[in-house]
């Protein structure tokens, strides 16, 4: 009898330990993905089962020098679910944005496999097969993608056919089969970098972030209403998100006049785009170049700020956790020797964070890295 009870106790203990290890594995991990040649990550989204889907641009084989788009899905532990999905032709395909829909994944970017550069939109089914492709012979680039009111919306820029040095903001609407339904004409020169994917749609279809020909960040409604946020120096915008209590957060990069080094800049604005707060997420005067990449607001009102820093020839991924008043609560650096760069940041179902980036050790090709952390950016050491 004692022997039977011991066996039952041991079995329960093993089951308990297995669950504890499993929970830890989903809360903290760092994993690498990709083909033998260079892979450059572009965007990551959560899937319905708590896993991850991320898109990248890849050079699949030598002696080819062209690139294709690839899509990888994983479970919540970061283990790949199925075969990698690819899309490409004889030229270069570059992926910039990804959304998860009920029956698959939609990606946007730029292709030059035809006679001219074109912005593409493709959909993979959950079975890994390419469902459809939509493109139009328009030189330019799709920078971000959103699903709003059952429409797929792409923002980016188009190029002047007579002068490829001149860019115009691009905003295009598609139905769920990839057919173009509406195209907003440009109102000024510049480009869009980000479209609000979730939260308040104060303009009916979303809020856009971009840059004009002058060095000011701007937010635009339909491409005609422009709100400038001038700083001392040259700014570039990266991402806009909605605040949990209204308003918006914006992240970008600024190069203050006379400093010699770029800095991450974060702005908080209200629903009328009046500035509530502006702060730098890295110390002014630090002898390194910082780049703002992505931003998320957590349930407690703190702000997770993702970027990277370059010092000499090496770069690292950086993550700052900011208090609601903009003061820095903690900071993390991910990287060793070589170059690590940040691409995207998302909140996870357990209240933590997932970081998508690139990792290139000395004399090796670039690989995709997925880093799962807790809400403070801690990883399993």
Name which residue leads in pLDDT, 235 or 309.
Answer: 309
Predicted pLDDT at 347 = 95
Closest to 237 measured CA to CA, from 249, 247, 245 = 249
Give the per-residue pLDDT at 142: 84
Question: Taking 90 as the threshold, does the pLDDT of residue 1 lie above it?
Answer: no
Distances (CA, A) of 353 to 18, 27, 71, 242, 279: 23, 9, 20, 17, 22
pLDDT confidence of 177, banded at 50, 70, 90? Answer: very high
- Report pLDDT digits (tens) over 328-361: 899 999 987 778 999 999 999 999 999 999 988 7
Under DSSP, is residue 375 helix (H, G, I), strand (E, B) or coil? coil
pLDDT confidence tier of residue 362, bands split at 50, 70 and 90: low
Q: Please state the rounded mean pLDDT for residues 125-150.
A: 84
For the segment 249-277, the average pLDDT, to the nearest whole number, is 79
Q: What confidence tens digit (pLDDT) does each residue in 290-303 have? A: 999 999 999 999 99
Q: Would you say residue 236 has pLDDT above 50?
A: yes
Are 59 and 65 contacting, i.e. CB atoms less than 8 angstroms apart?
yes
Percent of the chain scored above 70 by pLDDT? 74
Looking at the DSSP bridge assignments, the partners of residue 345 are: 355
Check: CB of residue 122 under 8 Å from CB of residue 107: yes
Q: Domain coordinates of the chain in residue numbers?
A: 231-347
Helix (H) or strand (E) holding 159, with range, is strand 151-160
Give tens-digit pLDDT for 30-67. 999 987 678 889 999 999 989 999 999 988 665 556 88
* Whole-number Cα distances in Å, 352 to 20, 42, 55, 81, 328: 17, 20, 21, 21, 18
> What is the rounded average pLDDT of the residues 143-166?
82
- Measured in degrees and rounded to the nearest 5, phi and psi for residue 329 equal -90, -40
Among 169-178, 205-214, 263-272, which is the least confidently predicted range?
Answer: 205-214
Assigned token pair, 56:
């990248």
- The model carries a pTM of 0.86
């Amino acid at each position: 009898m004692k022997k039977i009870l011991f066996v039952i106790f041991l079995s329960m203990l093993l089951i308990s330990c297995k669950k504890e290890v499993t929970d830890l594995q989903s809360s903290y991990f760092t994993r690498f993905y990709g083909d033998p040649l260079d892979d450059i990550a572009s965007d990551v989204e959560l899937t319905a089962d708590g896993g991850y889907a991320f898109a990248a641009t890849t050079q699949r084989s030598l002696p080819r020098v062209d690139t294709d788009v690839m899509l990888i899905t994983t479970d919540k532990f970061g283990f790949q679910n199925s075969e990698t999905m690819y899309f490409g032709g004889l030229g270069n395909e570059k992926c910039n944005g990804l959304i998860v829909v009920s029956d698959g994944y939609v990606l946007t970017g730029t292709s030059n496999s035809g006679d001219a550069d074109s912005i593409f939109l493709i959909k993979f089914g959950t079975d890994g097969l390419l469902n459809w492709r939509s493109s139009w012979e328009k030189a330019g680039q799709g920078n971000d993608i959103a699903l709003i009111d059952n429409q797929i919306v792409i923002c980016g820029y188009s190029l002047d056919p007579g002068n490829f040095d001149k860019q115009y903001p691009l905003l295009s609407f598609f139905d769920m089969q990839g057919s173009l339904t509406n195209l907003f004409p440009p109102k000024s020169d510049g480009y869009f970098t980000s479209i609000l994917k979730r939260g308040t749609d104060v303009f009916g279809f979303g809020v856009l972030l971009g840059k004009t020909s002058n060095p000011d960040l701007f937010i635009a409604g339909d491409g005609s209403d422009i709100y400038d946020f001038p700083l001392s120096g040259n700014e570039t915008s990266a991402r806009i998100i909605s605040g949990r209590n209204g308003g918006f957060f914006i992240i970008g990069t600024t190069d203050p006049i006379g400093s010699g080094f770029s800095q991450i800049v974060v702005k908080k604005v209200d629903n009328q785009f009046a500035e509530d707060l502006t702060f730098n997420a890295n110390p002014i005067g630090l002898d390194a170049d910082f780049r703002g990449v992505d931003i998320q607001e957590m349930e407690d009102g703190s702000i997770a700020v993702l970027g990277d820093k370059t010092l000499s020839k090496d770069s690292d991924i950086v993550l700052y956790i900011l208090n609601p008043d903009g003061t820095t609560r903690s900071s993390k650096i991910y990287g060793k020797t070589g170059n690590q760069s940040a691409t995207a940041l998302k909140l996870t179902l357990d209240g933590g964070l997932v970081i998508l980036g690139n990792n290139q050790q000395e004399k090796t090709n670039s690989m995709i890295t997925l880093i799962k952390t807790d809400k403070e950016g801690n990883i399993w050491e």
